[in-house]
Amino acid sequence: MSVDANFTTNRGTLHLDVALQVQNGETLALLGPNGAGKSTLLRVLAGLHEIETGHVRLDEEPVDAGPNGVFVPPEERGVGVVFQEHLLFPHLRVLDNIAFGLTSRGVKKKLARTVAQTWLERLGMIKYGNATPTELSGGQAQRIALARALATTPKLLLLDEPLAAADASARVELRRTLRSQIQAFQGSCVLVAHDIGDALALADRIAVLEEGRIVQVGTMDQLGNKPASRYVADLIGLNCFRGTCSGNVLTVKNGKTVIVGTKHDGEVIATVHPRAVALFRERPAGSPRNVFRAPILSTERALGCIRVQLGGDLPIIAEVTESAVKDLDLDGRGEVWAAIKATEFRVAPT
């Protein structure tokens, strides 16, 4: 099912103003700080929250056209939802939780249970059909919630932080299950991701929400190449500076200037990948245009590299290899020389 949403609405203090398209069969991840409106966006698509202006269309059919227009209630939208806290019905056994959506749509109880049974098998939960939801762990409950949503064969699947309820040890396994189920799922999928890792693992594209607006939509590469905000840059681990450019001289907030490889004028966001920040014990000779001395604040082991947080005038993160750390004796803290080539800065006007 394709999704075409272009609307505004309010919920509490949040003002949501969103334009969003999801293609048939595509999976879109929503990322953003708390309170940015991710859950409310899902609620609008599910029909649990009404819009104030604009439209929401599923497969070209309007399902919400504002206060004076069409409104298709959630039970008629064919949209499956997995809620953050699974919300399994506590008085029904696991099997009947999965069968609930089918019996609600008029399927006979016996047949609904047979179908529910196949979903238990598919998710490796065959032993738990007669359990009550309170007997399940967070990860297991979320699997059943996924089965419950998928059993109704929705055309659009919405998942609100599906990994939040699982504890750390179960998360990897649950993410794998989600990944395979989403891939097997025929319809479109919109999910609220907790972090960039979940978004990358599960989705084709990422939409970043901040304060009720979508600041950027795209693939991971598109976001990384030109992050639209500080938040997006932080999200994908880039160093990000907001400042004013005059020619190829960028002045960041605290007055520090750096030389960038392209010419701009006015307010810009500049990003530089941590790998592009080189560290030296002695002042390096040669071509780099930006060389400065900075104190090491901390070092952190990341996947296949060490991330070094530098302080000083230009707080920045450098990624170096383990052997480089040994050569530079970085564990001893102190100060180092940092060098960044001007061409490594990506500058985009805001």
Partner 1 sequence: MPAVFAAILFLLPLIGLLAATPWTDLATLITDRATLDALLLSLECSLAAACLCVVLGLPLATWLAHGNDSLRSWVRVLITLPMVLPPIVGGLALLLAFGKNGVIGGSLDRWFGIVVPFTWAGVVLATTYVAMPFFVLTVEGGLRAFDPRYSEAAATLGANPWRSFRSITLPMIAPSLRAGLLVAWARALGEFGATITFAGSFQGRTRTMPLAIHHALESQPAAAIALSLILLVVSAVVLFLLRRQWFPIR
Could you list the residues that contact partner 1 (CB under 8 A)?
Answer: 46-48, 73-77, 79-81, 83, 85, 87, 89-91, 100-101, 104-105, 148-149, 152
Tokens standing for residue 154: 């929705």
The least CB distance from residue 135 to partner 1, in Å, is: 15
Bridge partner residues of 305 (DSSP): 302
SS3 87: coil
| CB nearer partner 1, residue 157 or residue 163 | 157
Residue 80 or 139 with smaller CB distance to partner 1: 80
State the nearest-atom distance from the C-beta of 240 to partner 1, in Å: 37
Tell me 71's DSSP state.
Answer: B
Residue closer to partner 1, measured from CB, 56 or 338: 56
Which residue, 148 or 273, has its beta carbon nearer to partner 1? 148
Q: Which of 150, 17, 72 is nearest to 162 (CA)?
A: 150
Nearest residue (CB) to partner 1, 84 versus 271? 84
Outline where DSSP puts E strands in the chain: 3-11, 14-22, 27-31, 53-58, 61-64, 79-82, 156-160, 188-192, 205-210, 213-218, 239-252, 257-272, 278-280, 290-302, 305-310, 316-320, 335-340, 346-349
**Minimum distance from CB of 192 to partner 1 (Å)?**
15
DSSP 37: S
Q: What are phi and psi of 166, to 5 degrees?
A: -85, 145
Question: Taking the complex as a whole, how short is the minimal distance between the CB of residue 292 and partner 1, in angstroms?
Answer: 52
Minimum Å distance from CB 162 to partner 1?
Answer: 14
| Contact residues for 71 (Cβ-Cβ < 8 A; gap 6+) | 47, 50, 63, 64, 65
